[in-house]
Amino acid sequence: MSTIISKMDGVSSNSSKRAYVTFLAGNGDYVKGVVGLAKGLRKVKSAYPLVVAILDDVPEEHRQILRSQGCIVRLIDPVYPPNNTQTQFAMAYYVINYSKLRIWGFEEYEKMVYLDGDIQVFENIDHLFEWPNGYFYAVMDCFCEKVWNFSTQYKIGYCQQCPERVPWPAESGSPPPLYFNAGMFVSEPSLVTYHNLMEALETTPPTAFAEQDFLNMFFKDIYKPIPNVYNLVLAMLWRHPENVDFDNIKVAHYCAAKSKDRSLGDSQERKRT
């Protein structure tokens, strides 16, 4: 079995049992997003550290930047799905996201809130750590963007964000189970869970949305949907504005193709410093 953690720094014996966690790979600009995430958590006065799980291809310069922002940097081994040359991922780079599964091995933390590096936090969300254990909390995804064009949901116009708009056809059986966006979630690290994830991965063929599809399958029995304000995927602004509580947005996820030219509203309220 591969080593879960190759190196850890910035952790003391008195470190918190709770942590925000994110993932970083490569030598590109994504590190800037993680820095923005760290600054955002600091600005809202979060009481808990940000742990950055990194792959070995993250350059030392970027690691030093993260440490300078108060992040705990943890080097992890990559995780790859079973070999399947026929798999066409929705985005080619999604395959590396299977490495996120390593974070369930961070068992020195009793609970974690995972946040992708393209997320910004606008309000304190430390209360998420108080939610009852034993569940996987995350926000339901939207199926309306073109990245979903391979799916039955997209082809017929069905979205779980507004199931009454285009009902699921009766001839297709029961609607698909609720499906979350894995850019933000609340879970409990555990070596038992970690090993179960690794074992399940060995026998689960990869699918278009990589680790997100896999996590939806693995945690389907304990998944608890939470309000969109905890992971506002920007496509919601133009696909389902009626479902967006603009006055209470806590977390915004800049993962949509149009996110560069869309706004969250009051720029002064949402400005990152």
Task: Please name each of the domains of the chain with its CATH number.
Answer: 18-141+179-253 (3.90.550.10)
pLDDT-wise least confident of 181-185, 220-224, 235-239: 235-239
Name the helix (H) or strand (E) containing 119.
Answer: strand 119-121
Residue 173 has pLDDT above 90, yes or no: no
Assign 4 a pLDDT band (cuts: 50, 70, 90): very low
pTM: 0.86
User: What is residue 217's three-state secondary structure?
Assistant: helix
| Catalytic residue (choose from 43, 45, 100, 260) | 100
Share of residues in the chain with pLDDT > 90 (%): 64
pLDDT-wise least confident of 14-18, 53-57, 263-267: 263-267
Would you state the structure tokens that stand for residue 53, as one six-digit string?
């799980």
- Cβ neighbours of residue 192 closer than 8 Å, sequence gap 6 or more: none
Residue 260 has pLDDT above 90, yes or no: no
Q: What is the pLDDT of residue 200?
A: 96
Q: What is the pLDDT of residue 86?
A: 58
Would you state the structure tokens that stand for residue 172, as one six-digit string?
């297709």
Concerning whether 100 is annotated as a catalytic residue, the answer is yes
Residue 16, Cβ neighbours under 10 Å: how many? 16
Q: What is the pLDDT of residue 216?
A: 96
Residue 188 has pLDDT above 90, yes or no: yes
C-alpha–C-alpha distance, residues 268 and 146, integer Å = 31
- Rounded CA Rg of the chain: 18
| Arithmetic mean of pLDDT over the chain | 86
Q: What is the pLDDT of residue 92?
A: 56
Residue 3 has pLDDT above 90, yes or no: no
User: What is residue 37's three-state secondary structure?
Assistant: helix
